[in-house]
Structure 1
Amino acid sequence: SYTSADCYCFKRVGQSLAQLDDIDCGRNDPDLKQEMEKQFVDLLTEELELQEAVAEEHARHMNITFGEAKWVASQYQREAEKCIAATETCEGAREKAEALLIKERKLTTRREHRAREMGWEGE
């Protein structure tokens, strides 16, 4: 029979594996020791595979999020370009309207001046 003094197992594999403490591991039994080491390797392998799967899922999620962000940014860019074009069109129309108003005021001033010369006294 083995005692805890014969076999002290304290293994810590990452943060997600359980800690084994004060268990009769059969250190003096080569077959049992080999089997325990296999189990440890299997647990470690499983832990690494899980971490890899989580990392891959995280990367996949980040790629999807990045793709969506690029698409949204592209949509905003297109809308901004439409707004800029509309603003330029409005600004051009405003400038034309302002020029026509100035021209019309000058014409009105000339007509009023001519009318006064012809005897019109105004309002």
Structure 2
Amino acid sequence: MEKQFVDLLSEELKLQEAVSGEHTRHMNITFAEAKRVASQYQREAEKCNAATETCEEARERAEAFLSKERKVTALWEQRARKMGWEGE
């Protein structure tokens, strides 16, 4: 009877080890996949940040160019008015 009990305990321990091993394997696979996806999202975020910086720089250049154009337009309009032009 005692041998049966020891055998049952031994069998239970083997099953628990098997379940634990499978759980650890599944956890490692899930963790590796999560790291891969996180890395992919990080790369995409870096691309997005770079594109945003490029767009922001282009917007700043366009804004500066527009400001210069408005000044030139105002200067020409002022000259035209001095010469008798009446705008809308």
TM-score, normalised via structure 2 length: 0.95
The amino acid that maps onto 1:95 is E
Q: 1:104 corresponds to which residue?
A: 69
4+ aligned runs moved over 2 Å, structure 1: none
Report whether the alignment pairs 1:54 with 2:24.
no
Report whether the alignment pairs 1:94 with 2:59.
yes
Report whether the alignment pairs 1:117 with 2:77.
no
TM-score, normalised via structure 1 length: 0.69
Distance 2:31 2:38 in 1: 10
**What SS class does the counterpart of residue 120 from structure 1 fall into?**
coil
Cα deviation for residue 119 of structure 1 reads 1.5
RMSD across aligned positions (CA): 0.9
Q: Give the number of aligned pairs.
A: 88
For the pair shown, the structure with the greater C-alpha radius of gyration is 1
- Of structures 1 and 2, the one scoring higher in RCO (CA 8 A, sep 6+) is 1
Structure 2 counterparts to residues 6-85 of structure 1, below 5 A: 36-85=1-50
Percent of aligned pairs sharing the same letter: 80
Higher helix share: 2
Contiguous gaps of at least 5 residues in structure 2: none
Contiguous gaps of at least 5 residues in structure 1: 1-35
**What SS class does the counterpart of residue 119 from structure 1 fall into?**
coil
